[in-house]
């Protein structure tokens, strides 16, 4: 009896990775999933805290995919190592700060390390030629295979027929005839295959699998790097970029204004690390100040805070200032008029 082969599948939570794993699993290969936490994942973050997304199921789609497949999912935190991919991508960025080609190479490489440590034979991804402009082109896909070190051990079951034969196909671990030749941006073939396997209610992420493909998010990240004078970041920084309205009235500080109850609650968890503001005379958001502000700038910040409170049209609003140094005081301020808030302050 031939040995049962084992493959590790990169599971993002989207349909393609789910299908790719299923196609190989159907051929009798033992499949387990791997999902990397980079800190930029869209999965269950803003969706979980913002009211407007309340109707959406609050589920982790990678775990949901694994459940559909009946496989084990290994969730691995790579957020520290991933910084270098975001800060110094060898192949540059896509339309925003998304380093897709380097990201894919990094993830396949990490999956390869895992496969070697755990006695797995090959790696599966849900990539489809021509699906994404940067990482899924016919010329970049072989580069990802080789630069990651996976080489012929990387199988893309959804478009394998458009690519040279890989080791699992040549060795007969999988039957190439039962793999697919999808290409291009159309989602129809994947949807048809999903229906064939009986998958319903799968995630259909708009854009990409992470916040780095988002223009507004990338703009805020670029602003953070510029304000700090270096391109480094901590996990808290990139989490906070996902939440609230961000305004930079001066180069050395910005304000993060909660837009609703869920965001205010989320920001509460960070208030001890930041100078923060609350309105006392009227209802209003929790506002964090990231950076350094002198007394006049704290007053300006308080006027902006008042602007975003329910006292925006009042003569004066009482604002509590809680300084990072532990001191607290209150100020009576006139809310800033909308004309006094230049467009450029909004990030």
Cβ-based nearer residue to ligand SF4, 172 or 184: 184
| Contact call for residue 208 and ligand SF4 (CB under 6 A) | yes
Contact, 168 vs 162, CB < 8 A?
no
Query: Exactly one of 7, 11, 174, 209 binds ligand SF4 (CB under 6 A); which one?
Result: 209
| Contact call for residue 154 and ligand SF4 (CB under 6 A) | no
Query: Exactly one of 210, 224, 298, 304 binds ligand SF4 (CB under 6 A); which one?
Result: 210
| Contact call for residue 144 and ligand SF4 (CB under 6 A) | no
Cβ-based nearer residue to ligand SF4, 25 or 38: 38
| Contact call for residue 212 and ligand SF4 (CB under 6 A) | yes
| Contact call for residue 69 and ligand SF4 (CB under 6 A) | no
Strand 245-250: give its sheet, edge to edge.
245-250, 253-257, 287-291, 275-279, 317-322, 328-333
Residue among 240, 276, 236, 285 nearest 258 (CA): 285
Query: Exactly one of 96, 98, 218, 264 binds ligand SF4 (CB under 6 A); which one?
Result: 98
| Contact call for residue 148 and ligand SF4 (CB under 6 A) | no
Closest distance to ligand SF4 from the beta carbon of 42 (Å): 9
| Contact call for residue 141 and ligand SF4 (CB under 6 A) | no
Here the tokens at position 343 are: 């467009």
Query: Exactly one of 213, 275, 279, 322 binds ligand SF4 (CB under 6 A); which one?
Result: 213
Closest distance to ligand SF4 from the beta carbon of 135 (Å): 5
Cβ-based nearer residue to ligand SF4, 100 or 247: 100
Whole-angstrom distance, CA of residue 209 vs CA of residue 71 = 21
Q: Which residues would be at the binding site for ligand SF4 (CB under 6 A)?
A: 98-100, 103-104, 135, 208-210, 212-213
């Amino acid at each position: 009896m031939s040995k049962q082969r084992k493959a590790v599948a990169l599971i993002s939570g989207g349909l393609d990775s789910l299908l790719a794993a299923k196609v190989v699993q159907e051929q009798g290969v033992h499949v387990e999933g791997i999902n990397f936490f980079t800190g930029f994942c869209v999965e269950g973050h803003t969706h979980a805290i913002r009211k407007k997304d309340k109707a959406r199921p609050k589920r982790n789609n990678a775990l949901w995919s694994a459940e559909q497949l009946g496989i084990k999912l290994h969730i691995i935190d790579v957020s520290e190592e991933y910084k270098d991919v975001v800060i110094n991508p060898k192949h540059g960025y896509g339309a925003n700060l998304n380093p897709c080609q380097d990201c894919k190479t990094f993830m396949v490489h990490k999956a390869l390390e895992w496969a070697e440590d755990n006695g797995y034979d090959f790696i599966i991804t849900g990539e489809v030629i021509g699906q994404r402009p940067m990482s899924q082109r016919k010329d970049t896909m072989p580069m990802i295979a080789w630069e990651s070190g996976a080489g012929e051990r990387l199988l893309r079951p959804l478009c394998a027929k458009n690519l040279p034969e890989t080791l699992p196909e040549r060795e007969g671990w999988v039957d190439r005839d039962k793999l697919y030749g999808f290409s291009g941006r159309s989602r129809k073939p994947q949807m048809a295959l999903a229906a064939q396997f009986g998958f319903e209610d799968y995630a259909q992420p708009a854009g990409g699998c992470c916040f780095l493909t988002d223009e507004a998010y990338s703009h805020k990240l670029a602003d953070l790097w510029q304000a700090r004078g270096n391109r480094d970041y901590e996990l808290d920084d990139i989490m906070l970029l996902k939440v609230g309205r961000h305004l930079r009235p001066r180069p050395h500080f910005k304000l993060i204004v909660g837009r609703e109850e869920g965001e205010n609650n989320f920001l509460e968890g960070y208030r001890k690390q930041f100078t923060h503001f609350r309105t006392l005379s009227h209802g209003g958001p929790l506002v964090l100040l990231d950076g350094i502000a002198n007394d006049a700038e704290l007053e300006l910040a308080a006027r902006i805070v008042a602007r975003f409170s329910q006292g925006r049209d009042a003569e004066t609003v009482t604002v509590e200032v809680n300084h990072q140094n532990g001191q607290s005081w209150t100020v009576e301020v006139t809310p800033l008029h909308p004309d006094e808030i230049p467009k450029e302050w909004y990030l």
